[in-house]
Amino acid sequence: MSASIDYNKYEAVIGLEVHAQLLTQSKLFSGDSAAFGGLPNTHISPVTLGHPGTLPFLNKKAVELAIKLGFACHCEIARENFFARKNYFYPDLPKGYQISQHTAPICIGGHVPVFVDGKSRHIQLNRIHLEEDAGKSMHDQDADNTLVDYNRAGVPLVEIVTEPDLHNSDEAYAYLTELRRLVRWLDVCDGNMEEGSMRCDANISIRLKGDTSLGTKVEVKNMNSIRNVKRAIDNEIKRQITLVEEGGRVVQETRSFDASNGSSFPLRSKEEANDYRYFPDPDLAPFNLTDAFLENIRKSLPELPEEMIERYIRELGLPEYDARVICDDKATAAYFGELIAATPHHKAAANWMLGPVKSWLNDQSAGMETFPLPPASLAALIALIVDGKVNFSIASSRILPVMIGEPGKTPIAIATELNLIQDTDAGSILPVIEEVLAKFPGKVAEFKAGKKGLIGLFVGEVMKMSAGKADPKLTNELLMKRLNS
């Protein structure tokens, strides 16, 4: 970064194009498997290979998934649809054209909510359209030849295109995180950027702050994680501003991001762009969507993450932060849903999710779907605390680990076995209190002189001496009574 350049004079404008592989069994226009991986060229048939005489037929499930995502993104759904051929020549494209809805998308407009810097806003979408994927060229498998795997050719994709509505890499990060949560939430796509089932191209331009016209855009490709999209955007904004400030001009081009050094290099310029010669695919009949078909899909939609967050804040009185963490991913939200059905203590349930459960998962580097304890068992542990049988600290540090190891055992059985049942008998706590007060005569004098905050120290000492078993609430009451008498 050049020291003399004022980067704050400029505003970035960003539009994102995301390709998401739909979770169908078969490909968009054939019965070939759409599964990821597989030995190269095993998920292929004459249709995938584009042999003369073969005919495509449309996968209804792919259409349903695209519409599902469209509803979740508040898009308008086009009733009349057709597919076009996008013609270009490349070895990974056996037919010599890609079948795409590029010219007439199934989902129009819409928006995705993002939460950045503590504020919510909508990122406007331009469209979501259906298209087939290309195969995969492998340049590093053989010293002299490029090898091609056609397993991916024809796999159904949706392309989700935003308006040029983002202005920095944090918004892009939040948008992609939200979009990934959404496609996973809806079972539309597995959202795996590392494996390439979700891919993002970033279109970036700059303009002077206050300008309303758009600058020349550069498209950056080949980022395999959300973090790398953020890095690529930051790098590209800096590159363009530096270029312009040094008297240069941004040229419209496509660049490839290199994650190893955080920079990019040009792939092709506008002059080298293809003329795709789009025209409606004569082998595929146009298809119209009926009200009943759309209504069935709409009815199948689950509650969306942002709706759920809002409901938990409103109905359960959860802090927004807690509600957001609980709805971070589908498995956590589903678990919490079952947990609050099993216990009336909803705030305690949220505290358990954000506290001990989350720490356990962090320690294991695991996701919620691997948590071994059924929600009903966690609810039983919460009940044990509410009933005054054990305190939270004992429950989370001593009982929970045993329950995780032996999910069949009830918390009360474990607490009894380990001799952890809380002491709620004043008769046995009082002697411990006397012992503690005798140990700290100075502190007792300070307390009596007005330093009331010392009560915490006394309670803590009683808890320590009783190995955590004294009921903290009762201990507090007894101590206050004794010290104020």
Would you tell me which residues interact with ligand ADP (CB under 6 A)?
Answer: 13-17, 126, 161-164, 203-205, 214-215, 217
Minimum CB distance to ligand ADP smaller for 42 or for 269: 269
Least Å distance between CB 43 and ligand ADP? Answer: 29
Residue (205 or 235) nearer to ligand ADP, CB: 205
CB 315 within 8 A of CB 323: no
318 three-state secondary structure:
coil
Residue 134 CA to its chain's centroid (Å): 26
Q: How far is the CB of 162 from ligand ADP (least distance, A)?
A: 5
For ligand ADP, the closer of residues 41 and 87 by Cβ is 87
Nearest approach, Cβ of 391 to ligand ADP (angstroms)? 54
Report the half-sphere exposure of 122 (CA within 13 A, side-chain side). 10
Closest approach of Cβ 370 to ligand ADP, in Å? 36
* Cβ-based nearer residue to ligand ADP, 127 or 330: 127
Residue with smaller CB distance to ligand ADP, 10 or 458? 10
Report residue 215 as tokens.
């600058």
Looking at residue 78, the DSSP 8-state letter turns out to be P
Length of the chain: 485
Place of tokens 């295109």: 161
Which residue's Cβ lies closest to ligand ADP? 15
- Bridge pairing between strands 253-258 and 218-223: parallel
Shortest Cβ 152–ligand ADP spacing (Å):
21
Give the whole-angstrom CA distance, residue 134 versus residue 282: 20
Rounded-to-integer distance, Cα 173 and Cα 114, Å? 9
Nearest residue (CB) to ligand ADP, 47 versus 204: 204
Which C-beta is closer to ligand ADP: that of 16 or that of 65?
16
**Nearest approach, Cβ of residue 236 and ligand ADP (Å):** 10
Show Cβ contacts of residue 70 under 8 Å, excluding neighbours closer than 6 positions: 77, 106, 107, 110, 128
Shortest CB 202 distance to ligand ADP, Å: 8
Q: Tell me the closest approach of the beta carbon of residue 297 to ligand ADP, in angstroms.
A: 25
CB of 210 to ligand ADP, least distance (A): 16
Helix (H, G, I), strand (E, B) or coil at 100: strand
Closest CA to 153 of 111, 223, 95: 95
Task: Give the span between the Cα atoms of 200 and 63, in whole angstroms.
Answer: 21
The per-residue DSSP string of 142-206 comes to SSS--EEE-TTTT-EEEEEEE-S-B-SHHHHHHHHHHHHHHHHHTTS----TTTTSEEEEEEEEE
Q: Are strands 97-100 and 76-77 parallel, antiparallel or unpaired?
A: unpaired
User: Which CB, 217 or 469, lies closer to ligand ADP?
Assistant: 217
Whole-number minimum distance, CB 123 to ligand ADP, in Å? 10
Query: Between residues 217 and 389, which has the closer beta carbon with respect to ligand ADP?
Result: 217
15 or 356: whose CB is closer to ligand ADP? 15
Phi, psi (deg, nearest 5) at residue 104:
-150, 90
Element (H, E) at 101: none
